[in-house]
Amino acid sequence: MYKILIATRYLIRRHITYFAVLAVALCAFIVLVVMTVLTGLVSDFKLKNHLFTGDCVVGTKTLVGFTYYEDLNRILEQADFIESASAVIQSYALVSPNWTEQGLGLEIMGIDPVRHSMATGFGETLYYHKNNVSEAFEPVFKPDLLGCVLGVEVGNRLGNSLAPQRDPRGGYFYNDRFDESSVSVSCVPLTARGAPAKADLGLINTLNFYYSDYSHSGLARVDGSLVYTPFDQAQWLCGMDGPLKRANAIHIKFKPDVNLQTGCKKVALLLEKFKQEKADEEQAYLLDTVTVQSWKEYRRAHIAAMEKEQTMMTVLFGLVGITTVFIILVVFYMIISHKSKDIGILKSIGVSNADIITLFLGFASSVGLIGAAIGAFGGWLFLRKINQIEQWLFEHFGFQLWDRTIYAIGDIPNQVRFTVLAVIILSAIVACLAGAFIPSRQAARLNPVETLQVSQL
């Protein structure tokens, strides 16, 4: 009990302790704010990738695609662990607006909008057809025209003045006047062997599409380079509509209670069985390149960069933690050097070395706990208001943490996670204990006779 009493009094009465508490509080504040924002950005980015992909993708990286996708799609949809599956065509195309000869090389994705919305978050990314996805490819101004959905930034890239404009806060202004212009989409159709299907004729397949909607997935690369078209038209453009039709991938959504890894393993088993069944069929060799990937594996190249940044920041803040340890070590050396007389007194009344160490470690953990609590509370308050603060800074000084016209970031993530908070508080206490351990051990080893000598006073 005396340890609690003395540690508390040291904490209150020794002003140098306030510096230690302040150092811990500042570290906890910085780590909480940065980790919350960074973790939020990574989680948000992962969620957007998840919504874009669905849970799992069965597909091939080749532009040729694979055959019998309809049979495979049917088998997958009948599986008890799968909620929906959507076959897609993926390729590259030359996209040219009708008012200019200049076009852009973009990616096209042929989808059935209803199926794709069931397997992925596609429907939620639309602006005009969010509530009637089945009409996603029907232009609002004339539904019988052939429509396409542009990534929200594609219109700007194509130089369309009526395309949605990004506001400084990261949202989009959609023009009241609907854009009635069109684009021509040209693809090089490929044979099942991967050769240009019309090479001898020197022809490409071209279709004209009107803008029916914009898709805002929140993924900069997707929103800036993807054009969604109806499945059948994309299949024709890519030359995959022969007697043996082909597709590039099937996006799958699992039932809610299905674990991602388990679901992917089950899909892999179904695919293997399917490949065996089709082994003797025509063009069955195209199935050899078909693999199963979870959404994380499928989008690995994009997610990994973000995760690497998160790891780097964690390492950097590990170094901040080490600095805290040294601050605590110095502060405790100073405190203990001023308290050697007290240690002598305590030993003269029978306090053991272990109890002296416990007393100072208890003192250190109090510094850690109070510092971390103050820092965490301050961090939480700051995070609650971070978007308002940024807004104010932007309005008055033109400062933004991220330039929203460049980065696909909306509000700054500010949801404090309990695990992050617990880890920060525990780390602060451990850092304080680590910093105080050596001085505490030295304090315990002090010879009481020497510390109580008149010459030492």
Partner 1 sequence: MIRTEEIYKSYRMGATKVKVLEGVNLTVEKGEFVAIIGASGSGKSTLLHILGALDRPDKGVVKFEGRDLNSFSAGELNRFRNKMVGFVFQFYHLLDELSVLENVYLPTMASKSVAGWLACRKQAKERAKELLAQLGLDERADHKPYQLSGGERQRVAVGRALMNEPELLLADEPTGNLDSVTGNGILDVLEKLNKAGQTIIMVTHNEGIAKRAGRIIKLIDGKICRT
Measured at the CA of 15, the angle between CA 333 and CA 448, to 5 degrees, comes to 40
For the window 56-95, what string marks contact with partner 1 as x by the rule CB under 8 A?
----------------------------------------
**Which amino acid belongs to residue 90?**
Q
Give the nearest distance from C-beta 457 to partner 1 in angstroms.
6
Pairing status of strand 165-166 against strand 249-254? unpaired
Let me know: does 429 contact 326? Beta carbons within 8 Å.
no
- Does 10 contact partner 1 by CB under 8 A? yes
- Does 13 contact partner 1 by CB under 8 A? yes
- Does 346 contact partner 1 by CB under 8 A? yes
Let me know: does 268 contact 142? Beta carbons within 8 Å.
no
In this complex, which beta carbon is closest to partner 1, that of residue 218 or of residue 344?
Answer: 344
254 three-class SS = strand
Stretch that binds partner 1, among 9-17, 154-162, 362-370, 419-427 (CB under 8 A): 9-17
Let me know: does 114 contact 124? Beta carbons within 8 Å.
no
d(CA 65, CA 380): 50
Stretch that binds partner 1, among 161-169, 254-262, 290-298, 442-450 (CB under 8 A): 442-450
d(CA 25, CA 425): 10
How far is C-alpha 285 from the geometric centre of its chain's CA atoms? Answer: 36
Total number of residues binding partner 1 (CB under 8 A)? Answer: 27
Among 352, 384, 405, 445, indicate the residue that binds partner 1 (CB under 8 A): 352
Give the nearest distance from C-beta 367 to partner 1 in angstroms.
16
- Does 398 contact partner 1 by CB under 8 A? no
Give the nearest distance from C-beta 167 to partner 1 in angstroms.
59
Longest dimension (CA), the chain: 107
Containing 230, the helix (H) or strand (E) segment is strand 226-230
Among 243, 256, 350, 398, indicate the residue that binds partner 1 (CB under 8 A): 350
Among 42, 114, 345, 389, indicate the residue that binds partner 1 (CB under 8 A): 345
Stretch that binds partner 1, among 20-28, 120-128, 342-350, 387-395 (CB under 8 A): 342-350
- Does 347 contact partner 1 by CB under 8 A? yes
- Does 9 contact partner 1 by CB under 8 A? yes
Contacting partner 1 within 229-258 (CB under 8 A): none
Strand runs labelled E in 24-134: 56-59, 66-67, 82-97, 104-111
Give the nearest distance from C-beta 327 to partner 1 in angstroms.
23
Let me know: does 411 contact 335? Beta carbons within 8 Å.
no
Among 241, 342, 390, 411, indicate the residue that binds partner 1 (CB under 8 A): 342
- Does 445 contact partner 1 by CB under 8 A? no
- Does 15 contact partner 1 by CB under 8 A? no
In this complex, which beta carbon is closest to partner 1, that of residue 2 or of residue 399?
Answer: 2
Among 46, 302, 341, 404, indicate the residue that binds partner 1 (CB under 8 A): 341
Task: Look at residues 295, 309, 304, 218 and name the one whose alpha carbon lies nearest to residue 263.
Answer: 295
Please give the DSSP secondary-structure letter assigned to residue 454: G
In this complex, which beta carbon is closest to partner 1, that of residue 98 or of residue 352?
Answer: 352
In this complex, which beta carbon is closest to partner 1, that of residue 51 or of residue 345?
Answer: 345
Residues recorded for the chain: 457
Encoded tokens for 113: 């909008």
- Does 448 contact partner 1 by CB under 8 A? yes
| DSSP string across 281-319 | STTGGGGGG-EEEEHHHHTHHHHHHHHHHHHHHHHHHHH
Among 41, 188, 351, 428, indicate the residue that binds partner 1 (CB under 8 A): 351
Stretch that binds partner 1, among 6-14, 226-234, 379-387, 437-445 (CB under 8 A): 6-14
Encoded tokens for 165: 């404009």
| DSSP string across 318-352 | HHHHHHHHHHHHHHHHHHHHHSHHHHHHHHHTT--
In this complex, which beta carbon is closest to partner 1, that of residue 323 or of residue 447?
Answer: 447
Give the nearest distance from C-beta 453 to partner 1 in angstroms.
8
52 three-class SS = helix
d(CA 190, CA 239): 5
Give the nearest distance from C-beta 426 to partner 1 in angstroms.
23
Give the nearest distance from C-beta 439 to partner 1 in angstroms.
18
Which ranges of 385-417 does DSSP label H, i.e. alpha helix?
386-397
Task: Provide the 10 A C-beta neighbour count for residue 178.
Answer: 15
Among 268, 325, 373, 452, indicate the residue that binds partner 1 (CB under 8 A): 452
Containing 215, the helix (H) or strand (E) segment is strand 205-215
Give the nearest distance from C-beta 80 to partner 1 in angstroms.
58
Q: Which residues bind partner 1 (CB under 8 A)?
A: 1-2, 4-6, 9-10, 13, 341-342, 344-353, 355, 447-449, 452, 454, 457
